[in-house]
Amino acid sequence: MKMGSIRVVLGLAASLDLEVEQMDVKTAFLHGDL
């Protein structure tokens, strides 16, 4: 994932009132695979 994509996902999570902490864990995991 590109950094911009991660920002979009986090932005959507914030707008949908999702738990951003869970998203951070997922993005950290995906970013770790890079």
User: What is the pTM assigned to this prediction?
Assistant: 0.37
In tens, the pLDDT along 1-34 reads 577 887 887 777 777 765 555 656 666 666 655 4
Task: Give the pLDDT of residue 34.
Answer: 47
28-to-10, 13, 14, 15, 33 alpha-carbon distances in Å: 12, 15, 17, 20, 9
Give CA–CA dist 22/20, Å, rounded. 5
25-to-2, 5, 31 alpha-carbon distances in Å: 16, 15, 10
Report how many domains make up the chain: 1
Domain that holds residue 26: 3-33
